[in-house]
Each structure stands twice: as C-alpha cells, then as structure tokens.
Structure 1
Amino acid sequence: MDTTQTILFIAELIGTVAFAISGVLVAAEKRVDIFGALVLGTITAVGGGAIRDLLLGITPPTLFQKPVYTIVAVATAAIVFFIEYGMGDKIERFSVGYMKVINGFDAVGLAVFVVVGVNTAIASGQGDNGFLSIFVGTITGIGGGMMRDILAGQIPVVLRKRVYAVAAILGATVYYFMTRGGCPDWLSIGTGAACVMLLRFLATHYCWNLPRIPRTPREDTRE
C-alpha cells in the first residue's frame, strides 16, 4: 500500500467513525432501539460507499470485500449507543451543543468520503470523465446520510438545509482538479476536505440555506 492509499485508508476509517456517530445521534433523537441505532449508524457510514461502488461497477461493493469498514461502523455505533443509553435524558440539557456535535461529525464524514469517492472513480479508470468523478465523490459523501434520513422518517438534510450538497460538490471539484493538475496528493486531499468542512461549518454557524419557494402553510382544499 503506497503513501496515498495509506492516507486515504486512514481517512476512510475516520470518516466511517464520524458518520457512524452521526447516525446513532440521529437514532437517539428518533428514540429507536439498539438494533435501529446500529442500522442507522452503519448505513450512514457505508451506504454512500456502496452506491459509489455500484455506479463504478465494483462488485461486490467494498463493504463486503473489506468488512473492516462495516465492523468499525457497527462497533462505533454500539459504543455510542451505550454512552447515550447511560447518559439518558441528561443530554437533553445540552441540546444546542448536542446539535453542534452532530453537525461536526457529519462535516468530517462528508469531507472524507467526498475525497475518497473522487479518488476511487479516478483509480477505476474514470479520471478523464470529470463529471462522473465529481458526481461519484458527491454521492459517496451524501448517500449514506440520505439513506439514514429516509430510514429515520425525515426529509434528507441534503434537500433542505445548510448547503449540504453544495459543500460536497465544491470539495469534490477542488480535489478532482487539483489531483488531475498534478498537485501533491496530501495537498489535494487536505484542500478538498478542508473546503467541504469549512463551508459546512460556516453554513451551520451563519445558518446559510439555499433559496426556497416562499409559500405559507395552508389547508388542503382539494375535494
């Protein structure tokens, strides 16, 4: 394993842990049981990678070829679940800080998987197809979170707030053009991931959202 692959492997493990944590924190909000928490934590961590592999024709997906990612996701989800279980309602007293923790882990996971997704597309021979590489990077980052939100019974975050997908697209684009332009791997990886996290943190702090159609709630008047 060369230096770049080692860096990406470590980054992917970090992203797996981060997304698994964010998945369990959402599960705690929804009051699901331990099985539900493990499912949400795991699907958040490995779901985007599975979609990426299917798009690139990598079968079976990496999560089955290298179960280390799934094992890490399940183990992380279990640990966080029992921490949450032990703390009980004490966490409710710190709701503002609690949401910051969720957003923080989610930003780290998003940044890591966006970069890994683009790199996987390039390594699979799709480096000349910039649109596909950037799309794959984006879906790798947001796919798991979308699956988590759908299973949790809520509109996916990517469709409603905090320029989530825009941050993923920006990071994927920056990483793609930097690595294709011959920049050092560590610089391309770091810059691409930093762009995602910076935009996510700024959007969360300043409550940035994309424009919505202005419409006030009204009763359904259909017969």
Structure 2
Amino acid sequence: MKLLHIDSSVLGPHSVSRQVSAAAVERLRQANPGLVVTYRDLTQTPLGHLTGLHLAAGQGAAPDPSVRDDVAAGQLVLEEFLAADTVVIGAPMYNFTIPSQLKVWIDRILVAGKTFKYGPAGVEGLAGSKRVIIAISRGGYYGAGTPMAALEHLETYLRGVFGFIGVTNLEFIPADGIQVGPEHREKAVAGALQAAGSLNAA
C-alpha cells in the first residue's frame, strides 16, 4: 500500500496543517506497518506555474529548454499521485483559498486522460479508487451560517477538484479559528490532532 503525503504551508514547524497532516500519516503508518510513504513539501521543492510552454509540451511538443526540468518534475508529481492508494494533504487557508504552491500541484495532477476524461455523458473522474485526507487550517470561522461563509474557497474548492477526478473517499480534518486567540487555537489544534489519530486504518 502506498501513501503520498503533501504539505503546502509556508510556516514550517509553526504550521498547524503540517502538524495535523503528519499526525494523520503517523496514524496510518502505525495501522499499516507495510505502508510505503512518499513525502513532498511543495515549499521546499516548488513547481513552476503553468505557462504556454508547459501546455505545448503537454500536447506533445518537445519541451522548451527553459521549462524542460519543470515539465519533468510535473510528470513525476503526476506519477506519484497516480501510484498512491492514499493521499494526505496539509492545506492551510491563505486569503480565503488554497496556497499557490498547492494550486500548482493540482494543475499537474488534473490531466485529461490520466485523472479524468470527457465522454458522451460528460466528464468522468479516473481517480475514484483513492482515499484522500485533507488537513485544513483556517484563521477564522467559515462554516455555513457564519458571516464569513461566502469567502470559504478552501474546502469548497478542494471538494470540487477531487470530486471532478472521481474521488468519493474524501475526508477533511479541520482546525478552525486558529488566529482568533490562543484558547481557540489550542482547542482547534487539539481537536484536529485527535481526529487525525482516530482515522480509520483503511
């Protein structure tokens, strides 16, 4: 069984999403002794934003020398995702949505013919066999009925993205209100870590 662990926070050891994603991976590692884990830190090994040269290479053109290495890195990212049975992602909210580092990674895994395809009935996701667990951290409260609900473009976006490629086994571990105050942060982190440590083994 293979697990892909992705982190995207720029805060290093101060990151809540990193703490929670690590706890989720450790829980699954303990429950599955033979688990093979691949780790990718999107801030330490950043991918380039897509350009026309990237898209041309994706259509079969020889990669321009200026993007050759990045195109190869993007192919490796896609292969890591396709090979994984389980994916654990640390995803903080930055300015109401995902970090740009995570968006670049998503751009490399949403590939027609690999993770989705179009047919007579419309789009068909091809990654439905995967389990995806996402540790999200938000500075405030964005749940339904809250004053900030309309600005929640983190969880809603990720639900849409993974639903598009067919993932139905999608789990979120939220830590909300971490910037509201120390007590809120402590409670949010403790709750998220408890949820991570209680994940089903498979």
More helix, by proportion: 1
**Bigger relative CO (Cα 8 Å, ≥ 6 apart):** 2
Query: Comparing both structures, which one devotes a greater share of its residues to strand?
Result: 2
Interval containing the TM-score (normalised by the shorter chain): 0.3 to 0.5
